[in-house]
A and B are shown apart, each in its own frame.
Chain A
Amino acid sequence: MQTKLLFTLPIAAVGAAAALHATAYLHGEAKKHLFRFWAFFLATLASMLAVVYAPGKISFLLAWEAMGLSSAGLVAFENTEKPVRRATWIYLLACHAGACALMLAGVLLNNPDAFLAAFFCAIVGFGLKIGFPPFHVWLPEAHPAAPAPASAVMSGAMIPLGFYGLLNFFWPVCTAVPYNTTAGLTLIALGVAGAIGGILFALPQVNLKKLLAFSSVENMGVIAMGLGLALVANSRDGGSLFSEIYVLSFTGALAHVLNHALLKGALFLGAGSILRQTGTLDQDRLGGLMKRMPFTGTLFTLNALGLAGLPPLNGFLGELLIYTAGFLAVRSGSPLLVAAGFTVLAALAFTGGLAAAAYCKAIAATFLGEPRSKAAADAVETPKRMWIAQLALFLGSVAMIPGTIFIVHTFAVGIGENVLLTAATIGGALVLLTAALVALRRFLCPRGAVKPQCPTWDCGYHEPTARMAYTATAFTQPLADLFAFALRPRKHLIPFRGHPATPTDAALVTETDDRALAGFWRPLFTFFARVFQRAHLLQSGSLHLYILLILITVVVLLVAAFAS
């Protein structure tokens, strides 16, 4: 029941905020388009609730399929554009492949001996929703294509439902011997790959929503690491320390589900506001929006700080629980658990550092500096409703600070409560101390002494323009080049031409596409297509042949039925 509540909360909170945002976001759309959006939107919310409260496996699968189909309707909202149709197509394929794997998992689950097979099918099925690599293929396609309120709901509330499915149907057996080691190590491996891979791909993205989509892959990876570490701790029988690691890690992962939902929902809404006011999400064409859209900018900054997992906001608390579990794991003495602990610690820290880099870039390129295009220069603040929706989610995430402590206090019998209380107190102290320093600064240089009207000092250039500032691409170039072996960025260089004294304009464009699609899925589907080409032999168009085939099938089935 508690897990049901925990997964209902994001649906309700993000759903409500997204609905409020959508009323302004879709302002001016034709009536029939509005009808289509709201119908699919409500159907998506309803089917997500149905997934959570489904009483059995069959009803769960039905609700799951309904959720996929209705949200595909949302992705396809702007279906006159080709990339949107392509994204919808990929999303539908991912949904159906996932549902297919889940049906198989459901059947296999009936046989206790085939539990591991069922588990791996479920990893594929739920992973296609959660976005475990390489199943995350639809996220960077569908999120930028969908309207922002829909992306907020899908990213914040829908993709973690995959974890709900795992917890609801597989957890009791997963936590028991002998499956917990395998399941735990699988989740840790997927989590590490998802967290580091997700944030690495998020880093060089110039499309803001694509960046956020990859960051969802990262956050789901963090949750998977937490759950995996919990399982590995459970697999070693070593008394109270091990159950403590289990509880800390498990609670940390679940707290991160909530934290991520609220913050990522708000960030997607913020991206929607930017798209509506400027018409673009290309960060190399934005900039300077903090002055033009102060509420949206401030809220985006705060939410990004939270999602980067930095104190004083709530994103840190879930990670802190997992860190504490990792610390306990490395001193547990069980070799496997020590190795798992070190892996989780290092991966989580690396992810945290990269996430801070990615969000610094997202904030800076979008909101800071001078505008890099006319669209950004002419932008104005959104209608109130749009930033109120983000404010509500931000306040919800602040409320999650005592909320996380409450969860730990109530459901985790207080394990880790001290660590959290300290972190929350220090967070409060950070806010107060900052306020004190701001007051001190105000006292030291009173307003009259602040001269805001000088230009940025740029080594003697009098009129620095936006073209001289660092772009999003430039900011992440060192990291993108360092990890080029994994990211494989495509660089298009247009060199200088003409006489060296009067060169033409040069340009460098870098694109970092998702590797999973081109490197894994396309070859796989091409292979399948080639294999099934052979089946064309059967499709001759001759009715006699078809009847013969039906007859053969029936006979074979009858023989098989009598034989067994």
Chain B
Amino acid sequence: MNILTFLLAALLAPLLPGIVNQTKAFFAGRRGPGLFRLYFDLAKLVRKSCPRSATSTWLFDLAPSVSLAATVLAAMLFPWGPGHGAFASASAALFFYLLGTGRFFTVLGALDTGSAFEGMGASREVQFSALVEPIVFIILGFLVCLSGDVNLQGMLGDYDGAAWTHHAFSLILIAVAFFTILLCENCRVPFDDPETHLELTMIHEAMILDNAGPDLAFILYGAALKFELLAAFLVAMLVPKLSIGPEAKTVVLFGGILATAVLVGIVESVIARMRFLKTPQVLLGTLMVATLGAVLYILF
């Protein structure tokens, strides 16, 4: 495991929401909150106290820590630099299930407050994530076919560049499907709008209404890290083995992550959030797209 690249990734994570917001500000003609806003926010939050509701229990206290720990561990499994992550034989299923554990506790922490808003957010979160899971595993199955490897590290980019000439269509379909999941899992437009604070229309923001201080810092950092992880996953699976060496791939990886953040910002600038009732249909459509990609790859 390359510790330096992991640390770089960990440091870089809070930059990504900044990039998204600056991109959106550019499209809207505003000055924007600045690229490093989240770093300042985190520094401010860790110095605050944690007030908590009299209704909540130990789950509410524990949830942000578990959720962040699970995300950090998933990040440690990810092959950031040359070579593999913390474990050579880490399964991709483990990677996504760790994110699932994080979500499980976030949802419980939200429901622990007994608030209707947080219940609403949690209810939507579990609904959408249940629909996302099969898409993720269809994509993982496709990646196994593509690379012939069942480990996380081998699955991501351990294939010949020739695949892009023979199976470009499949790869594009899979990339589109994964990008859609990335938006859904990170609660971005068109699935969720991170800007409509305190509205009935949100998912992730609604779940953390009662968190403050270091807890909120854990949650915000965890969310940024998860965003970075999924962006990195997207980039890593699309870039095949490079002839100029594994170091080049690391550079491409980090460049790609930043580019993905810009792309998310563009998407958020040009489309509006859709109605929640449409979300399951879009996710079913995404499942079809992913399946089509896999089927086309296997047939041709």
Contacts and interface: CB of A to CB of B under 8 A. Distances in A.
Interface of A: 287-288, 290-291, 297-298, 301, 305, 308-312, 316, 319-320, 323-324, 326-328, 330-331, 338, 341-342, 345-350, 352-354, 356-357, 359-361, 363-364, 367-370, 418-419, 421-423, 425-426, 429-430, 433-434, 436-438, 440-441, 444-445, 449-459, 464, 466, 468-470, 474-479, 482
Contacts of A370: 55, 114
Nearest to B90: A422
Given A346-B137, A356-B130, A469-B119, A331 B145 contact: yes
Interface in B46-94: 46-59, 61-62, 64-66, 68-70, 72-73, 77, 86-87, 89-94
A290 B57 contact: yes
A364 B55 contact: no
Nearest to B94: A423
Contacts of A324: 91, 93, 150
A350 B86 CA distance: 28
Interface of B: 46-59, 61-62, 64-66, 68-70, 72-73, 77, 86-87, 89-94, 97-98, 100-101, 103-104, 107-108, 111-120, 122-124, 126-127, 129-134, 136-138, 140-141, 144-145, 148, 150, 198, 209-210, 213-215, 218, 276, 280, 291, 294, 298
Contacts of B66: 430, 434
Nearest to B100: A310
A430 B58 CA distance: 18
Contacts of A436: 69
B70 A364 contact: no
A267 B198 CA distance: 36
Contacts of A434: 62, 65-66, 69
A327 B144 contact: yes
A421 to B, nearest CB: 8
Nearest to A356: B104
A275 to B, nearest CB: 21
17 contacts: A310-B97, A320-B94, A323-B137, A347-B134, A356-B103, A357-B127, A360-B108, A360-B111, A370-B114, A423-B91, A426-B94, A430-B98, A434-B69, A441-B215, A444-B46, A444-B214, A469-B116
A399 B108 CA distance: 25
A437 B273 CA distance: 34
Contact of B148 (A331, A368, A421, A468): A331
A438 B65 contact: yes
Nearest to A425: B87
B87 to A, nearest CB: 4
Contact of B114 (A328, A368, A476): A368
A350 B96 CA distance: 13
Nearest to B103: A356
A291 B60 CA distance: 12
B72 to A, nearest CB: 6
Given A311-B101, A320-B94, A360 B141 contact: no
Given A330-B144, A418-B89, A422-B87, 8 more contacts: A311-B98, A316-B97, A327-B141, A356-B129, A422-B89, A468-B115, A469-B115, A475-B123
Contacts of A368: 56-57, 59, 108, 111-112, 114
B145 A349 contact: no
A495 B46 CA distance: 49
A189 to B, nearest CB: 17
Contact of A444 (B115, B137, B213, B291): B213
Nearest to B119: A470
A403 B27 CA distance: 56
A301 B107 CA distance: 13
B285 to A, nearest CB: 14
A349 B134 contact: yes
B117 to A, nearest CB: 7
A429 B131 contact: no
Contact of B115 (A341, A451, A458): A458
Contact of B298 (A338, A361, A421, A482): A338
Contacts of A310: 97, 100-101, 104
A429 B86 CA distance: 11
Contacts of B69: 430, 433-434, 436-437
Contacts of B49: 445, 449-451
Nearest to B124: A478
Contact of A450 (B51, B55, B122, B145): B51
A379 to B, nearest CB: 14
Nearest to B152: A422
A126 B48 CA distance: 59
Contacts of A360: 104, 107-108, 111, 122, 126
Nearest to A434: B69
B62 A369 contact: no
B98 A345 contact: no
A454 B89 contact: no
B101 to A, nearest CB: 4
A363 B65 contact: no
Contact of B294 (A323, A342, A369): A342
A331 B144 contact: yes
Nearest to A432: B69
A398 B290 CA distance: 36
A470 B213 contact: no
Contacts of B114: 287-288, 368-370, 456, 464, 466, 469
Nearest to B141: A330
Contact of B112 (A364, A419, A430, A455): A364
B123 A474 contact: yes
B104 A345 contact: no
Nearest to A479: B127
Contacts of B276: 478
A361 B123 CA distance: 9
10 A-B pairs with the lowest CB-CB distances in the bound complex, closest first: A470-B119, A369-B114, A353-B130, A364-B111, A449-B49, A357-B126, A353-B133, A349-B137, A437-B65, A433-B69
A419 B97 contact: no
B127 A482 contact: yes
A352 B96 CA distance: 11
B275 to A, nearest CB: 12
B94 to A, nearest CB: 5
Nearest to B87: A422
A291 B116 contact: no
A470 B120 contact: yes
Contacts of B111: 360, 363-364, 368-369, 470, 475
A455 B65 contact: no
A445 B214 contact: yes
A7 B287 CA distance: 38
A273 B177 CA distance: 45
Contacts of B133: 349-350, 352-353
Contact of A342 (B46, B118, B141): B141
A323 B93 CA distance: 7
A422 B93 CA distance: 12
A437 B221 CA distance: 13
